[in-house]
Chains A and B, each alone.
Chain A
């Protein structure tokens, strides 16, 4: 314990250098967290935005994507209406909806001129209502002849349409069908891609997924993992926090990017902490040599140096976690000012804890060399 106390006192003695190093570590960790967060956000897309609303994702085995906008993988869930009915019957479940997403063509007129490619999302309205798959304004339930649509701002701008207008959408440019816009979701966070939300049955009809009653995923609020697993034994049920980790490891690109970013950040951390520790040990060579002379063991001295290094990195890591929370808000604001859209960033508590862990690990690694250096200190050499 007294190694830690001496380490703390040593840090307090050189306040300006300690403050500079803490700032450097905090910035390095904040950059790591922010870059990883942005990577996750891009991977998860707008699903990141409703992460707090959705407790579980049921995705087909082999699918790693929970984003209703970008998910276009061929592996799909079947008999989704029946399954969702069973899920909703559970008193612990607050709401659930299948999500089908497909690329559609849409136009503000039905003559087939200049249709634009947009993302079509099919949901069962009423049960769970979270952006970007907001179904506010829809007829409740899942009838297949309402011809109602909800669009986001990006689609509204792209096609020049407003609430009450008719939009024409279909899977091919020659089979467009009319849909009345019942709502425009005016939230910039959900306007990264042009989106049109339809009743699930209607999207299934125009994309050929009615047979087999298919969807890409089911989102659920409430319930338990075991219960959901019993509905779809062969699918993957991800909880809110698991989905982040699953997204990282299931996508090799994001995994590689995350590893690269974290590695660079750890390296920067190690360089900062090591430089400080080597300077600190050089500055205190005489003190450590005196400690050795009066019988303080090499192990104790090494513990003091390591404690100093780890304390420095722990405090820097915590500061970095807070800095990244602030940085996220600032970056989001910059993104909105420049491009009228928020940068999607996923920053679960797990990521912040991992950031602090990276800092501590870097501190421990970078303290080893100075700790070993202390073993060579000799009062006679210093006095000569």
Chain B
């Protein structure tokens, strides 16, 4: 398997006024194409920070993140924005759908930014709604959907531009156990069916069990890797 994501001596220090917090300390990590990886750890261990650094929505203090062979530290903000649009799909704990847009429009949004034609967007959105089991919910606004349904829409949005990487930050954190299991099933299915590289940050033991690899982080350091 070739490496799709590489973190090289990744450190992140937050300046909180008079104190400095070392969220990550020289983390090295490689994730292959098509892999399903779970990152676990206690609150404040640095796992979400690692995900944000991999997702290029935050810059490391030192070290670098290489995606598809390209060092993201050398990219401009515009290039990083394009990288996030085309190569990375994000799924958040709180779903973060745009409340003014319908489920259909939320999924369509990244496609519009990518400049896809109307016909292609339509076909792709319908395909994604079908893939996440929400064929008849396209016209609903987020407030009209349950938590599980909102997270499914968020997953469909993450897949909008067919990115090779899906990053999920506590995707089941806001959901009950049964709904959470459904979301994990969906992520596993996406990993297997579409060969997407999936990195999930979670406290959920079920996700850790179903991931191909589990990385445990404690105090900003990778302490354990289980296959």
Contact across chains for A297 and B78 when beta carbons are under 8 A apart: yes
A379 proximity list for chain B (CB < 8 A) = 52, 57, 92
Number of interface residues of B (CB under 8 A): 30
Q: With the chains together, A298 CA to B77 CA distance in Å? A: 9
User: Any chain B CB within 8 A of the CB of A9?
Assistant: yes
Say how far B151's CB is from chain A's closest CB, in angstroms: 14
CB within 8 Å: A-B pair count: 69
Those of A284-310 within 8 Å (CB) of chain B: 286-287, 290-298, 300
Contact (Cβ within 8 A) A380 B57: yes
A296 and B109 within 8 A (CB): yes
Given A379-B57, A380-B52, A380-B58, answer yes or no on A287-B112 (Cβ-Cβ < 8 Å): no
CA distance A297 to B84 in the complex (A): 10
Q: Is B86 a contact of A295 with CB atoms below 8 Å?
A: yes
Q: Which of A293, A295, A383 has the most CB of B within 10 A?
A: A295
Let me know if A293 and B90 touch, CB within 8 A.
yes
**B100 near A295: Cβ-Cβ < 8 Å:** no
Tell me the bound Cα distance from A294 to B158 in angstroms: 8
Kindly report which residue of chain B lies nearest to residue A9, judged by CB atoms.
B100
Q: Label chain A's interface by main secondary structure.
A: helix
Chain A residues near B82 (CB-CB < 8 A): 295, 297
Contact with B along A5-36 (1 / 0, CB 8 A): 01001101100000000000000000000000
Asked if B194 is an interface residue, CB under 8 A from chain A, the answer is: no
Residues on B with beta carbons closer than 8 Å to the beta carbon of A298: 77-78, 81
Chain A residues, Cβ within 8 Å of B81? 292, 295-298
- Chain A interface residues toward B at CB < 8 A: 2, 6, 9-10, 12-13, 286-287, 290-298, 300, 378-380, 383
B residues adjacent to A (C-beta < 8 A): 48-49, 52, 55, 57-58, 77-78, 81-86, 88-90, 92, 96, 98-101, 109-110, 112-113, 157-158, 161
- 4 A-B pairs besides A290-B98, A294-B157 with CB distance below 8 A are A286-B96, A293-B57, A294-B158, A379-B52
Closest 8 pairs between A and B when the two form their complex, measured CB to CB: A295-B85, A9-B100, A295-B84, A290-B96, A380-B58, A380-B52, A293-B57, A297-B81
